[in-house]
Structure formats: structure tokens, C-alpha cells
Structure 1
Amino acid sequence: MADPTDSTWDWKTGVLANLLITGVLGYMAVLHKWAPDFYYMSVQEDEYIEWSTYCAFAFAAAAWLLATWRGRGWGRRLPWFTAGLALFCLFVAGEEISWGQRLLAYRPPAYFLEHNFQQELNVHNVISTDLRKLSLRTIIGGYGIVLPLLAAIPPIGLLLRRLGIHVPTPWLIPSFAAALAAYVEYPWKYTGETVELMVGLCFLFASLHHLRKTNAVPAGFRRQPWVSVTIAWALVMALGATNAAAARVHRSEDPARIEAAKIELEALRRDFLWMASGRSKVFSLSHSLHKRVYTYEQEHGAHRLLRGEFADLVSRGLPEERAEFFLDPWNLPYWINIRSSQRIAFLYSFGPNRRRDSSYTEIRGDDVGVFIVGPQTD
């Protein structure tokens, strides 16, 4: 068996792999500072960052499955570790897209319908945030950093080989370390989405390194490993962008999103009614306005919206980023419209076509809306 501490990459391939992975972090940092609107769009559900993460883990799962297949046979040690890596990557990929529920339109088990506000089949929305963060930190640090460092110690490296544990190449330690540091420091909101993509690429490149070391790739790729690394990265990014574009078309006619928007708008309506009550005078019809709910909360100090019934939907699976920025299921802002002279106020979403159809006094077209004050609430 090949020595797991022996990197078969030359220094150029190692540097390239780290640049491609850490470049994702740099790219998102630039977006966050100079194009915040595009940044927040990028980290939303079914956008290109999530789909690229799915592709990275899915490709890694396939590569580790190939390694497991090649490692089977009489007289060989059971390839339990590569099988475990394949299952882990497959699990993460499945979680990223809710196990294809949005694509195949199947109904998840009743437990997820009851406890997950998105009513989707995934585990990460029904476990505690602290446990999820601890698990990811342990995997990044344990597999990507501690394991290759321990394997460099001859007695431990020998033990790992005897146990059938395949150690990731030491070349990837900088990328794993960068991902861990970003996840611990969390320099900007939703850094976790970026870290997940970085980790997916780390696992993918680790699998490519292992396949090359075991001669499971074509000779051309073995001679020039940077080619397989570059192609894999390009495929992940290209397919991520393509799938995101297809997902936008798919979700434009998704009735489940319309129903989710109705539930969310009703929760927002009750929050605004609370603010109009005797307990709070933040909301009133004294002035006409038409603006995003997020802007309204910021400018009018409507902090009830951050801890009211709409915010409580997070405990049932509403993504935190949508709750914090008051985004609808199509990842566009919820709006509030107040006409003081007509004594009308309503909340609305642009709906499936993602453009405004409503007038100042009526909810029209496929816009999804609810009146706070008006004829329909009398």
C-alpha cells in the first residue's frame, strides 16, 4: 500500500489546488464588500454557491466510491474508510438539495412536514445549530489538518496504514486551515455557505489525489495532475451556475413556495398588527410609504419584526438569512405599501414571476400579498 503521507502532487499542483479553493473565500470577500446585494443573492437557497457545493460533494462521493470499488477483493483490507468518505460526501450533497425533493416533487415523511418549516427532507434544519457547527469544525480540523500531521509521524503513519485510513494529502492543509479559520472567525454574515463550498472542494481534490496515487485515473492525468484539478474545479463551478439558472426556472412555478409565502406574510401581518396596538406605536397609517420590509425595520426601528412571529418561523426551518433580510421564497424582498389617504396597508411578494404586478391600492397579478389594514380586513 502506498504511503499516505507521500504526496504524489508536485508543488505546482499543490499551489494551484490551494489557490482554487481559497480563491472562493477571496471572491466572496470581494462580493461582500463591493457588491453586497449580489453577495446576499449568491448565498441564498438554490443559488450557484449552494449548487456548486452540491456538485463538489457529489463528485467527491463518486470518486471515493470508485476508490472503494477498486479497493475491494480477496486478500485486501476492507476499504471501510473510503466507503465512509463516499457516504459522508453523498450525505452532504443530498442535504444541500434536500435529497432532490424540490426537483422530484415528492412528499417527505410526516416528521419533516411537522418540524421543518420548509417542509423538506433534510436533517440540518431539524438539529441544533451548535451541534451542526461543532460537527463541521471537527471534520475540517480532524480530517484535513490533524490527520495528515499525525501521519507524518512514522509510528502513527504506520498504524493508520494498517487500519486502512487514507490520509488527505498534506498539500491541502492550507485550504482546510483557511476554511476552519473562516468558520471560526465568521468575518461576515453567512460565511458558512462559503466554507461549505471550500470544504467540498477540499474533499474533491483529496479524492483526486488518492485516485492518482492508486493509478485509478488515465495516464495523462497522472502525468499532469494539475489538469484533473483544474477540470474538476471548472466543472463544479460551471454546473453550479447552470443548475442555479435551471432552479430559478423550476421554482418560478412552485406552488409550495406560494404557500410558504402566504404563511410568512401572515406572520408578518400579525407582527405589524402587534406594533399598531397599544403596546407599540411603531406602525401607523400617518404617512404613505412603499419600501422593502427590511428597509422599514431599519429606518423605523421596527425591531419587533426580528423577534416576533415571523422570526419564530426560523425554529421551524425558515432559513435564517431569509428571516433576517425579510426575503420571500424566491429570495426577493418582501414589501410593505401604506396609503394613508385611503387607509390601506398591505404586505406583498413579487410572487413566481419575480416582478411587481400590484398597484398602490391593490394586490394584483401573481403577487402574493396580505392586507394589514384595508377593505379585506374589515
Structure 2
Amino acid sequence: MPAIHRWNTKAAIRFARDAREWGIRPRRALIIALLPLGIALATAATVLHPPLFIWLLDEDSLVEWLQFFSLVAAGIFLPLLAFRLSRTGHKIMALLYGVVAAGVWFLAGEEISWGQRIFGWQTPEEMEAINRQGETTVHNIGGVQELVPAAMLLASLYGACAPLVWNAVRGRWKHLESAHLLVPPLCVVPAFGLAAAYRLFRLLVWPSPDYGISEYGEVMELSLYLGLALFCWFNLRRLVVARAAARAPRHRLTAPA
């Protein structure tokens, strides 16, 4: 028990230190960490009332729109990050963020079938013939459809593992000042971790699940997108604060007496 207590205390100290470095109050960081767990448990509890469970996870319902808005938020933050990074000379990092931004906007369009169900336009015959849902989307086309879970697994594993690894080895790599641009804060690890755990469960334990388990994956996608949006927001805020702090001394020096 003493060893477990020491481990828990050390983990709590690291969590609080990481939160402060990101400019997040430790209590708020804890709420952010628990939020995806709360959403996952609350949604799972609705299985006791099937109509509510089906409504939550149905096409164009609450969970899917939350996915879309999370992606839109990330899609706004990412270009702003790329712009600020390019202005400060981080060209390669700016290009990386630009590429990710394009991918996020593509995902956002795919989540709502590019507005097809909103505006009611018909799927072209060629697309309907090869699309599993008969819609104008790429991720439901045979061949591509099999790649999507693998891509989401890799993204969620990175988001869950990179912060843990970085906090374990950061003492040896203190000179990597821009590590925060690639490593999420610890408070979003649960968001990525839930998505990773679900994908691993589907891959290793239950590759052909029933309707409930399959549809529950929508909640895990929301968790992944929420983690991405939060990571982008915290990075953007960090860059804005750093620039303001760098400019503050100049203002004080040039201010009239």
C-alpha cells in the first residue's frame, strides 16, 4: 500500500505540474480529464433505455453533431496555429499543422456527409454503387473503410501515449522547448485513451460486434475529436500568451514616462 500511495502521489504531482505548464488550473485539468469518462459512462447507461441509446447514436443526432463541432473547433484552431508558427520561423511545424488542418476539415465534411442529409441532394450513381451507406462519403467506400479504424487507432494511441512517455523522459530532453507542439497535455490523455482502448478491444477481442458495441464507437470517436480540439486550443492559447509575454517588455520600455 505505501508503494501504491507514493506512486499515486507522484502521478498527482506530475499531473498538476503539467497542467500549470499549460496554463490550466489543476482542478480544471482534472475536470477535463474526467469529462470523456463521464460522457462514456452516461451514454453506456442509456442502454437500459434502448430508444434513448439509439437516438443519441443515430445519424445526425446529438453525438454525431458533437463530433462535427469538435472537428470544426480543431479545424479553426489548427490554421491559426499554422499561421502563428509560420510567422515565428517554425516553417516545418506550420506545414505539419496545415496538413493536419486539411485532414480535420475533410473529416468534418465526412461526418455530416458533406451536408447531403441536410440539403437533401442525391448521391451520384457511381458513388452510390460503391458506398456502403449509399452516401457521398469516402470513408464508407470499400477499401477505405477498412483503413479508417487503423488510422483512428494510431491517432488515439499517439495522443494517449506521447504525453506519458514525454513526462517520463522529459528530464533528459529539456532543450526541446517546442515539445508541447507535438505532445498533448496530460489532462487529455483519457480522451485519447478511451478511443484507443475501444479500437484495441474491437481489433483484438470483438472484431465483429453487435449493433450496440458497434454504435458505441461513435462515443469513442467523439472522445478522440474532443481530445484533438482541446489539444489544439491549449497550444493556440499557449502561443498567444507567449507572444504577449515577449512583447510586454518592449511596451514598457517604449511607454511614455
Q: Which has the higher strand share?
A: 1
Q: Secondary structure at the match of 1:124?
A: coil
Change (3 A) 1:108 1:80: farther
Corresponding residue number in structure 2 for 1:185: 201
Greater helix percent: which structure? Answer: 2
Report the equivalent of 1:195: 220
For the 8 Å contact 2:181–2:235, the answer to whether it is kept is no
- Aligned position for 2:182: 166
Q: Would the alpha carbon gap of residues 205 and 116 (structure 1) be closer, same or farther in structure 2, given more than 3 Å must change?
A: same
Instruction: Indicate conservation of the 8 Å contact 1:151/1:157, yes or no.
Output: no
Q: Quick one: structure 1 residues 104 and 27, their matched pair in 2 at CA, closer, same or farther if it must change by over 3 Å? A: same
Higher RCO structure (Cα 8 Å, ≥6 apart): 2
Structure 1 residue 185: Cα displacement: 3.0
- Counterpart CA distance in 2 for 1:80 and 1:191 is 34
> Cα–Cα, structure 1 residues 15 and 127, in superposed 2: closer, same or farther, change >3 Å?
farther
Whole-angstrom distance in 2 between the partners of 1:211 and 1:165: 9
> Quick check: 1:35 aligned with 2:60?
no
Q: Bigger radius of gyration, 1 or 2?
A: 1
AA of the residue aligned to 1:192: G
How far apart, CA to CA, are the structure 2 residues paired with 1:112 and 1:157? 51
**Moved segments of 4+, more than 4 Å:** 105-110, 155-160
CA 1:193/1:89 → structure 2, altered by over 3 Å: closer, same or farther? same
Distance in 2 between the 1:201 and 1:105 partners?
28
- Structure 1 length normalisation: TM-score? 0.50
Q: Partner of 1:278 in structure 2? A: none
Are 2:132 and 2:142, in contact at CA under 8 Å, matched by a contact in 1? no
Task: Report deviation, 1:16.
Answer: 1.2
Q: 1:210 corresponds to which residue?
A: 235
Give 5+ residue unaligned stretches, structure 2: 1-17, 203-208, 245-257
* C-alpha displacement of 1:28: 0.7
Alignment correspondent of 1:139: 155
Q: Does 1:9 align with 2:24?
A: yes
Q: What's the counterpart of residue 75 of structure 2?
A: 61
Root-mean-square deviation (Å): 3.1
Question: Matched residues in 2 for 1:52 and 1:69: separation?
Answer: 26
Match of 1:176 among 179, 186, 192: 192
Contact 2:33 2:188 in 1 (8 A): yes
Q: What pairs with 1:221-232 in structure 2 (closer than 5 Å)? A: none
Tell me which residue corresponds to 1:304. Answer: none
SS of residue matched to 2:86: coil
Paired residue total: 213
List alignment gaps of at least 5 residues for structure 1: 220-378
| Matches of 1:183 and 1:22, distance apart in 2 | 16
CA contact (8 A) 2:77 2:233 kept: yes
Check conservation: 2:184, 2:231, Cα contact below 8 A. yes
